[in-house]
Structures are given as C-alpha cells and as structure tokens.
Structure 1
Amino acid sequence: MTALKAEQQNDGARPPRTVEVIVNTKPVEVPEREVTGLEIKQAAIAQGVDIQLTFQLSVHHGGKYHVIGDTDTVRVHRHEDFLCVDKDDNS
C-alpha cells in the first residue's frame, strides 16, 4: 500500500476530482463539477489560456453560445465548450 492510499483510507477523503472542459479550443481542468464563471476563467488563465478576468465567458449549448456571469454557477461536463472573449470584441 502506498503512503497516499494509506492516507486516503485514514482520513476518508477522496482525491480531488477534476473535469476537463475546453476554453477557446484549449483543454482546461476545473476542480469540481459545479463552478462559477469566474472559477472557469481563473482555471483557464492558470493553465495558459490567453484571456483576462474581465473577458465575457459563454458556453456552447444547443447550437448557440449562452453568456455565463462571474457569479453564475454552472454544472460542467467533460469536454464542454466555452468561449471567452473581450467584451469589446466586435469580430
């Protein structure tokens, strides 16, 4: 038995669960299934996605993108597609 397994059995805690989503075509691991828009952006920035916290986050659902606010909580799914762009981007 490894030290890690023994520690997990002793404290009863499960290892942290992550979910891989896609932000601006880049894979991003988020720490939980339910996260806020801000947490998704923070995770993306920490993992090298070229965005800023002030950018607008949207999720691709039903053939359209739906805006997610910083305080909105969303339940994420593996490989779910997010777009994060500057609010002033008119392209």
Structure 2
Amino acid sequence: MEATKVRTIEVIFNKKKINLSDREMTGREIKEEAIRQGVEIAPDFQLSVRHGNRLDVVDDDEEIRIRHHQEFICVKADDNS
C-alpha cells in the first residue's frame, strides 16, 4: 500500500509560520492547530483573517478556505489593540 502524502498549507498566525493540513477549516480547528504548533493563545480568543487592509472575524463554527501565506490574527475577545 502506498503512503498518502499529506500536503500542508503554510500560513501566518500571530506573526508565526504554521502549517495547516486542510483546505477548509473552521475557526475552532484553525485555533486548535495553532495551539498544537506552539502559538500561545486560548481557545476562546477571537480569530480574524486579513484581507488586504481589513480584518474579518472568523467565528468558531465558520468554515473558511485556507490559502498559502494567508494571515491570521488571534487576540482576546476584549482586546482592541
């Protein structure tokens, strides 16, 4: 049986490079994977994805398409920095 090659997608998460293995993931899955890869956030932090000059919030149950070098920002929900 031939081994299946897992393709990963490199993204930027709070200025740290991480690899995601799926093309479509929920906000919760993205945060869980970032935590597994050493990003210091909590599961209840608010996740946003950068689109040009704006940030769009990604809800925990919202599924989004992952793209190479996409930038994610994750902060405490009450942090306005």
> TM-score w.r.t. structure 2 length?
0.92
> TM-score w.r.t. structure 1 length?
0.82
Q: Which stretches of structure 1, 4 residues or more, deviate above 4 A after TM superposition? A: none
Residue 72 of structure 1 corresponds to which residue in structure 2?
Answer: 62
Bigger fraction of residues in helix: 1
- When the two chains are superposed, the root-mean-square deviation of aligned CA atoms in Å is 1.2
Higher RCO by CA contacts (8 Å cutoff, separation 6 or greater): 2
Partner of residue 52 from structure 1, selected from 25, 31, 42: 42
* CA deviation string 1:11-52 (max 9, x = no partner): xx7322211111100011111111111111011000000101
| SS of residue in 1 equivalent to 2:12 | strand
Return the letter of the residue paired with 1:85: V
| Number of aligned positions between the proteins | 81
**Where do 5+ consecutive residues of structure 1 fail to align?**
1-6
Q: How does 1:16-55 map to 2 (within 5 A)?
A: 16-55=6-45
Larger Rg: 1
Bigger fraction of residues in strand: 2
Return the letter of the residue paired with 1:83: I
